Structure 1
């Protein structure tokens, strides 16, 4: 997802269950809540069921209306697209047996597996994909995710605007097993996009037969994923059962899954301790006491929190001042000692584990381009102060949530310790902070971006439009690199463009100072194996899990 259009998802979108409010766990917070959970689990054997939880209600199961990770969690497990993310977060053929890409990288031809069936026995065909994708690009879609297709597919935007007919859009069911997709420009991550729920198929006849009742309950949907819904209540949760019609059913090991709604973290932790849930997400305050527990683990998300500098501000327009502020921050201590929730110190804008060249990640290839160096910080600060003609006053704009306040206080102490300056913290609501940044009324601010897909471009093109929110950064060199990367048909040259662009943005021009890659800490029952959470897109996979 791009810019303000998306949440993190995915394409996030991008975000993990834990951070998006979906988690796995067990808990009690009140006796009543515990009894309710125990009653709900009554009759389900612990050796054939994984029980997880989400902290927010499931908003909808209507595919073209869903935009939250809570809904995506369920959709990702009762349906799938041409490709599915594997346990290593790489796309692998799912409903498609293969995909052929033309030499100019503008035509993708997906071929379905033989004998695919919906859960009601209806044959699943390429027409189901064509119907679904056109639905997502039409005015019917209310999830604000149309761009995830219209940005790439020929005449998609025109169709969405009512200026082109369906037959003019670059999505064609050539026959029952073949879907041909034509793109506007080479998009190396397009296959990865097909792992997202917006790209899942829909059976036109069934959807139309249900009308306004489609997606309201388990019986008003049909399924093509590892599981089917047997019960669905937005407020209390969902029950899933293994889909015997699924093409890869032999490799689905866990017969039953329950996704509960538990809003309080303390209640979830208590439920986990009571054996009611399979996994729990820990708060930062719980991590120190739990780190020695053999059931403890942590994971990073594709989400970078960073300092955004305002290049039009008199003080922050000075590059030496920006360099000083960046070098003055001990990110390792921030991530590992202050946050202590699985977050990792940021060494560049692009987070750890994001795709690079298939052999190494982007971060491994580009290395550490942002670091802590107190002596360099002082050196750059003195140069900047001399150029400005005196010691400046600096304010740090932040959101008023507890985590961001903690980060801001830590930064304030680092600037005092390593630069000898008193930085004022200006704490606002998220809405007010965003407005101040949009209105160019800030000096520097703590902000973040979560990946919408597994490619560095989900970050890199944010700074090409020169908006105040992105520091009013305007660079012909940077924009040229991104423009070339977007049209580049040579994957190595495209990657090199983005590697250079990241160094230009962070190290050379010091437009942003990355702080940390957000993470989550868990406890998972010892009998639960391979319960995979993805750092982007739909967050959790039950398909690969097993129980011992």
Structure 2
């Protein structure tokens, strides 16, 4: 994508975030949709019986339980089989979902939703089970707020009255009737919030606000959604077949309330650990409908298969940034205790931050135009704006780029760090473990560039970068969340449209039973708040968390709120706790889907849904992609 197009896209996205409306439903259900002969004269597709979408996957989901998972790959399941109160169309416009209408009280604390009548739950074989009612939303919320189920998305529920208190075993709030989620009647659901939350509607497309059949939750408890037979479905699809490391088959829910807008009748995901290599070959043979085209083979495809090469849709929903790990758990051979000493020295972290040439490393991902996706803030450009100013351009971020690549500053920080770390008992070179997914060639190449560049600048007598290929299955659980890295490219996706969402990865995690901080699952920095682990990082974290709390407390003045969050984020960056990196570019793919027909929002799970998409009878060409993109821009006002 060119800089010009990206800039145009981001500007338009800021406008879209303020828009609301409903798309006109379509009644055509094609099998293989024929692309128009020209972008100006689209054909109306015929109406055959079946439309099948076939693709490969290399990593198995870790759970089907959409009420507990915080991983995007796992959330594909819930996004496609469970409907939400509201949803977004392919132009980013808010529209009714399971709720036909809603209203909010004058004090902005009580939201009341009126559910569609006649929406049903179905089992994995498509048999009707029961009606979807307000009680199912209450039961699901209670499940998320129950500590024993260890929901990774409970934090999103903290905006609800007494949710935090109910979750805390030491709190006097034991009765769920005291929590602000209630079924007023069979079709009326009410949420009462702790404070006015102007972005509340945007929260509702996330997994923790999805319903689940109450009696089933009560019966199964922790066994809920341990396989596709132990969950019910109310969404566009039913997970009719689930054979781990074999296949997933999603079958269209013909009885869904909005079935006329669900065109793909079957989604067939086939497991292959080598899919990254095999999928492009299978596309050439016409055996599957989608493949990611790795940067290592893009030139070959541009020269030999240009008619098959398209792009995905670039969305600023996920931000990529590098984290320093404050509590490494990798093997002793890499000296994790020595890393702990080093990482808690700010000059050491700044030597890495200033020494890291982000554009050089980014060549592995976007060799043609890395500047277009480079980010200087954690919250990505285009995510949200206030008073016409993008969040990433607010006053607190002025001059933030001075924190980044500067060889002279890096060497100054290095000299200071050596003196201070030597006094603290550290040894050199400091081993910095770079863990990546072993089947991700781009990620491996990125780390190779990083290693070459950092070691050349700072010297191998100061730092030794160690490339550590991680597992492919359950990568996040086995590596990042397990703390098996020193410095790692991480990502976070917006859960709702408010800058507070970008503070969530770094929120402190306190174990009330143990009486101590156990560390967030990103960089574990909050362990430095424990009395037995105080160091120079502790004061930085205390001030950062105070800034975040102050920003969250501002709910009346949106400009003040956004600026307060910008101040907190800038503080974290200035102290080199996190290094902002990029948003993923529109990657090269071979696909029979028009990316711009899918639901669109820069938060929640909307972009994971297949609802609204069609399988065409050929792979989308570059010309068709550009025409589809331009048409999409025109439809959202570009």
> TM-score normalized by structure 1?
0.73
Corresponding residue of 1:279? 290
Note if contact 1:49-1:258 (Cα within 8 Å) is conserved in structure 2. yes
Q: Structure 1 residues 446 and 166, CA, compared in 2 at 3 Å: closer, same or farther?
A: closer
- Aligned pair in 2 of structure 1 residues 426, 105: CA closer, same or farther (>3 Å)? farther
Partner SS, residue 345 of structure 1: coil
- 5 Å matches for 1:254-269? 254-265=264-275, 266-269=277-280
2:419 is equivalent to residue 378 of structure 1: no
| 2:572 aligned residue | 505
- Residue 152 of structure 1, aligned match among 159, 184, 208: 159
Is the CA contact (8 Å cut-off) linking 1:342 and 1:518 kept in structure 2? no
Q: Cα 1:358–1:519, aligned 2, differ >3 Å: closer, same or farther?
A: farther
Conserved? CA contact 1:107–1:180, under 8 Å? yes
What is the 5 A alignment of 1:46-195? 48-64=51-67, 68-87=71-90, 92-113=95-116, 115-119=118-122, 120=128, 122-138=130-146, 142=149, 144-145=151-152, 147-148=154-155, 150-160=157-167, 163-195=173-205
CA drift of 1:483 comes to 1.3
Distance 1:219 1:409, change over 3 A: closer
Tell me, yes or no, if the aligned pair for 1:306 and 1:448 is still in contact at 8 Å. yes
Give the whole-Å Cα distance in 1 for the aligned partners of 2:153 and 2:482.
28
Q: Structure 1 360/488 Cα, relative in aligned 2: closer, same or farther at 3 Å?
A: same
Residues 342, 520 of structure 1: 8 Å contact kept:
no
TM superposition shift of 1:326: 3.2
Query: Are residues 318 and 112 of structure 1, via their aligned partners in 2, closer, same or farther at CA, if it must alter by over 3 Å?
Result: closer
Instruction: Quote the offset at 1:83 in angstroms.
Output: 2.4
Larger relative contact order, structure 1 or 2 (CA cutoff 8 Å, min sep 6): 1
Q: Which residue of the partner structure matches residue 30 of structure 1?
A: none
In structure 1, distance between residues paired with 2:377 and 2:419? 31
CA separation of 1:198 and 1:380: change in aligned 2, threshold 3 A = closer
The 5 Å alignment of 1:195-210 reads 195-205=205-215
Q: What is the rounded CA distance, in whole Å, between the counterparts of 1:239 and 1:434 in structure 2?
A: 29
Distance 2:483 2:219 in 1: 47
SS of residue in 2 equivalent to 1:399:
strand
1:40-95, Cα deviation, whole Å (9 max, x unpaired): xxxxx997222233323345545546565454223211211112344356764321
Q: Structure 2 vs 1, CA of residues 533 and 330 (structure 1 numbering), >3 Å: closer, same or farther? A: farther
Aligned mate of 1:484, from 538, 550, 567? 550
Superposed CA offset, 1:349-376 (max 9, x none): 22344334496653355578336976x5
Maintained 8 Å contact 1:241/1:255: yes
The answer to whether the Cα contact below 8 Å between 2:237 and 2:251 also exists between their aligned partners in 1 is yes
SS in 2 for 1:424: strand
Equivalent pairs counted in the alignment come to: 496
Shift of 1:131: 1.9
Distance in 1 (CA, whole Å) between partners of 2:267 and 2:74 is: 15
Where structure 1 has 5 or more consecutive residues not aligned to the other structure, the ranges are 1-44
Q: Which residue of 2 aligns with 1:355?
A: 384
Q: Deviations over 1:90-149 (max 9, x none)?
A: 76432123443445543332232455444528442212211222233236x635336235
Conserved in 2, the CA contact under 8 Å of 1:126 and 1:175? yes
Q: 2:608 aligns with which of 533, 537, 540?
A: 540
Give a deviation string over 1:221-274, Cα, whole Å, max 9, x none: 543212234444344323333333323222223333223223222233332222
Contact 1:217 1:231 survives alignment (8 Å)? no
Q: CA deviation at 1:158?
A: 4.2
Could you tell me how far 1:196 is from its partner in structure 2?
2.4
User: Deviation at 1:309?
Assistant: 8.7
Cα separation, 1, equivalents of 2:162 and 2:177: 10
SS of the residue 2:539 aligns to: coil
* Residue from 421, 436, 452 that aligns with 1:413: 452
Aligned in 2, Cα 1:537/1:464: closer, same or farther, shift over 3 Å?
closer
How far apart, CA to CA, are the structure 1 residues paired with 2:356 and 2:565?
25
Report the 3-state secondary structure (helix = DSSP H, G, I; strand = E; otherwise coil) of the residue aligned with 1:474: helix
Per-residue deviation, 1:453: 1.7
Tell whether the 8 Å contact from 2:145 to 2:151 is kept in structure 1 after alignment. Answer: no
Which deviates more, 474-483 or 262-271? 474-483
Among residues 493, 513, 516, which one is paired with 1:451 in the alignment?
A: 493
